[in-house]
Chain A
């Protein structure tokens, strides 16, 4: 019993310390925070966001900051949980955050947007793709929305005559995957695409995909649509290879990162098509510099999460300079100024040339790429 009291006293003391240290200072720097899952099953996505934003912040600071003001930056863990994400947001608020880059995932983004709305804090989510993420006017996003991606995928397959009979394998326990699947299905009907097989997996059974693949094989589909993240794609492609399943593969931006998994056999991905706004092996200088800096700092090739976060920070810089905000303005004033500026700027980012509408949606072109010899090749 005594031990518990000691522990509770220690915790109370820690709480007291955190209360005292919780003052925001107006010291001529911008405080930007990021949120994403840094532990747990989705940690690779959140880590990419937090690290991608860090690269952008370092570059901007080295180049003189935003309108002469340096950026102070911090990333917090939300473990892919809505409640923890709100905790992370509150922690950052106590730290003095003025602008939020995040959260990484849709559910967390929606939960946090309720808080940023109440505080009138500007929120730019790099990768919160569900429709409801940008329900409030202070929330913008960098990535495509889920409906947008599902629609674009179906259109691309239809217009390019890739297939008329397709199979879909998606994660029915995931917001991103099921969101894309729903609109893909709706648009496929308009494009004259028959969805012969629609099979799901869940976070609790994402080890084996043989039955989903076997169904696609039995139905004789010409193409399998994978609106999922790359983590599972490696196993799916390996199993398809072992089954001797020959088909076309089509995915969304979630598949980006597959080629850079440690020890991934790139020949498995030969011919996989995906709609992604970002390609780590693109020739342009911006991408090359980013990839080099990211590799030097974190020893892995960045994926589109990192690129979205990088673009998010540069977007904030562009909007901030357009609006002429300064670090000593209140959170709410910064938000109001940025909200207006967002619709007036054009950002040349890693993920394309982006403009925004007032409802928070980015306007940029999806790039279709096909994997050939272990590298992305643009398709038209």
Chain B
């Protein structure tokens, strides 16, 4: 198809994908040339994790129009289930198939949970839905923290009480050790794997938006009652979008888990704080824009790291920058100002107004 004949949205989507591919190519070239320091090199996988989470949450908040404050819970489930699988089969399977299956398991388990949670949650609306997702996220984190799983010759032992209750044999090995979580997950996540997960999630979501289903989902966002009266099965589409979002979050969790040797469900990592951070990505990115969410995720993940030279004032400056960015991006007046003074105008008709 000719580029000019494509619809505006298709071109826009292609632009998003091109942006990702170009960014990946540039970073890989820089790495090959030895221009990337360890700090930024170490940030690459986390960037992919957070960008993927932004894509995932944008599907629920921006496209479905429901506020979820529990997405860190799905990430948590994906991380623990995939790390659990990897720990169990580390010796008996090759790295590539094992890691691939681990990612799929992370996505699948999170997806099943998303489906189950979606059944009660999606009956609610607005802030009440948000608080119930927050509640589920906290429940998941709490349960993971009391989960003890060990393995010995007799098989798997599971307890919700403590390590001693497992009755593990002498040569047994703890896999999930309550609050100490999973230690020694194989280090498999690479930038390439992270990029592929991000790219696939993005393509899936962008394609969905442009499909019949996507238009149905967006009609629910714009007016649920009107959509229902037109014969759109509201609940089914809501469930579909929510579950898909959970699957993507689970894959991001798997990526996260295989990037660190110690996986702990701390409040700051998998609690409501993290869920809110994902929401910040989506809102700063302009609610509904997948590209915006990815860019916001990258900026906000890099910001505290780039600010390390500020020492004690680092997180203070981060807070100020966040507030200022929000106001600049969302205040109607500053939006009008930016639009009026956009450099795009200087270039005349070369670029069309978006």
Contacts and interface: CB of A to CB of B under 8 A. Distances in A.
Direct contact of A and B (CB under 8 A): yes
A50 to B, nearest CB: 10
Contacts of B303: 11
B119 interface: no
Contacts of B40: 15, 18-19
B261 to A, nearest CB: 4
B111 interface: no
A228 B281 CA distance: 36
A4 interface: yes
Contact of B145 (A76, A94, A173): A173
Interface in A1-28: 1-4, 7-8, 11, 14-15, 18-19, 22
A185 interface: yes
A173 B43 contact: no
Interface string B309-337: 00010110000000001001100000000
The interface size bin for chain B is 35 or more
Which range contains the number of A residues in contact with the other chain? 35 or more
Quick one: which of B36, B38, B256 has the most chain A CB within 10 A? B38
Contacts of B305: 87, 91
Contacts of A186: 164
A86 B164 contact: no
Contacts of A8: 295, 298-299
B266 A107 contact: yes
Interface stretch (B83-91, B178-186, B195-203, B225-233): B178-186
A20 B293 CA distance: 29
A302 interface: no
A41 B271 CA distance: 14
B338 A2 contact: yes
Given A2-B343, A111-B261, A132-B183, A90 B39 contact: yes
A172 B292 contact: no
Contacts of A111: 260-262
B179 A40 contact: no
Q: Main SS of chain A's interface residues?
A: helix
A81 B292 CA distance: 26
A82 B37 contact: no
Given A18-B37, A82-B269, A130-B180, A204 B142 contact: yes
Interface string A68-84: 00000000110111110
Interface in A70-128: 76-77, 79-83, 86-91, 93-94, 106-108, 110-111, 113-114
A93 B39 CA distance: 8
Contacts of B222: none
B216 to A, nearest CB: 28
Contact of A19 (B37, B179, B298, B343): B37
B42 A90 contact: yes
B35 interface: yes
Given A39-B315, A87-B42, A202-B145, A19 B35 contact: yes
Interface stretch (A175-183, A282-290, A291-299, A341-349): A175-183
A90 B338 CA distance: 38
B126 interface: no
B93 interface: no
A363 interface: no
Interface in A49-65: none
A240 interface: no
A309 to B, nearest CB: 18
Contacts of B268: 40-41, 79-81
Given A91-B39, A114-B260, A178-B179, A4 B145 contact: no
Nearest to B303: A11
A40 B259 CA distance: 23
A173 B267 CA distance: 9
B180 A178 contact: yes
A11 B292 contact: no
A242 interface: no
B42 A107 contact: no
A182 B162 contact: yes
A77 B179 CA distance: 22
B306 A204 contact: no
A-B pairs, 10 with minimum CB distance: A22-B37, A110-B262, A114-B261, A90-B42, A90-B38, A90-B39, A111-B262, A94-B37, A107-B264, A91-B39
21 contacts: A7-B325, A11-B303, A15-B302, A18-B37, A40-B268, A41-B268, A80-B266, A80-B268, A81-B268, A83-B260, A86-B260, A90-B38, A93-B39, A107-B181, A132-B184, A173-B145, A178-B178, A178-B180, A181-B162, A186-B164, A204-B267
Interface of B: 35-43, 46, 138, 142, 145-146, 162-164, 178-181, 183-184, 187, 256, 259-264, 266-269, 271, 292, 295-296, 298-299, 302-303, 305-306, 308, 312, 314-315, 325, 328-329, 338, 342-344, 354
